[in-house]
Structure 1
């Protein structure tokens, strides 16, 4: 619980903000990583910006009656304490085991996260106090809403350790990119190589889309054959 995410290079953040999660999943697939899209992570409002940040992980386990009580909210190991450990710019990623009948965070906790300049919250669970959460302005990706509190179905046990969110392994210091299509995790060791390939992929697909708009048929264009690749390369040299 003392592991602080390393700051992410602002240039890396800006570059990844120009890359869709759809592109990232394709590039990661080419490197052999298939299980990188966090299931159940949907934006709670339309128009939420694409976010990039280090993962600050939180872990819940099934509720146990002696631990999952309102008194636990004042424990040194609590969601409240975890929020106070979140650094500016991180993306909180909460493993709620896909539980959808107990809201892990509500408006007050989200307001505090927004105040601490946490970039956003991603979870395979749900939130509560939806109207208030929306008012905080904190970008949230989750499975929906439930009125009961977290202790109705979950026990919070730790933060900043490996978790399984939406069926995906997420480690502290991994990079999270999240947009309208959901959240994708990039392993820390692969960030630089993924960024280079993903940027090239985005540029290529932008060019392909323009060709489609001009009436070009797909065979040989998407994916590119040798002739199309040569034409694409020439266009980049202009």
Structure 2
């Protein structure tokens, strides 16, 4: 189930530090991903509920030219409004499971971001598209010759962090936080308190620096 419009707007007033701190204070298991490349505008961020796809290496008996990857179906309409597409290819960065035209299709379908445990191509075009896409690496090589889709919209694990369809993915240039779907309201409320406190601290510091 997607975030409602109010939740979506309120999350976008936050940064990953607010969300991470809120989860720590509430005693929720740490679910943070770091060292991703953020392809997006300055101060880019993304938030939405996870729609997952898991890719794996093709079987040795599968013909190399037989296309068995299905991420085009995900970008073409399986993932929709308010969702973040999560593509898990096990962290491989030699071949890609994303590109410019998948990004455009997602924008047309209301997808709010993309998280790839792997690589993409077309980095400049994606950066200019307006969509925030977070990746482990970059490569020009398509995945159709090397990978096949194992599962669509099932649970995945990235760097030890479990992600279920419907969990909230919040990402910015600092990192990615996965919020359990059962705790969305609790985390959002606490994160807003932290934001408000930090805004006051920032205003006071700026007044002293520039007053």
**TM-score when normalising by structure 1:** 0.78
Decide whether the 8 Å contact of 2:40 with 2:131 is kept in 1.
no
Q: Deviations over 1:2-29 (max 9, x none)?
A: xxxx131111111111111111111112
Unmatched segments (≥5 aa) in structure 2: none
Q: 1:50 is matched with which residue?
A: 45
Cα RMSD of the aligned pairs, angstroms, is: 2.3
**Higher-Rg member (1/2):** 1
Unaligned runs of 5+ in 1: 1-5, 217-238
The answer to whether 1:82 aligns with 2:70 is: no
In the alignment, structure 1 residue 123 sits paired with structure 2 residue 141: no
Count of residues in correspondence between the two structures: 208
In structure 2, C-alpha distance between the alignment counterparts of 1:135 and 1:212, rounded to whole Å: 34
Question: Please, which of 3, 16, 20 is the counterpart of residue 21 of structure 1?
Answer: 16
Query: How many angstroms apart in 2 are the aligned matches of 1:12 and 1:95?
Result: 26
Provide, for residues 84-116 of structure 1, a one-character-per-residue CA deviation record: whole Å limited to 9, x for no partner: 211122110111211111111122222222222
Deviation of the 1:62 alpha carbon: 3.1
Structure 2 residue aligned with 1:93: 86
Q: 1:213 Cα shift? A: 3.9
The Cα of 1:123 is off from its aligned counterpart by 1.3
Q: Normalising to structure 2: TM-score of the pair?
A: 0.87
* Equivalent position SS for 2:177: strand
Q: For residues 71 and 132 of structure 1, do their structure 2 counterparts lie closer, same or farther at Cα, with a shift above 3 Å needed?
A: farther
Kept in 2: contact 1:99–1:153 (CA 8 A): no
Q: By how many angstroms is 1:215 displaced?
A: 5.4
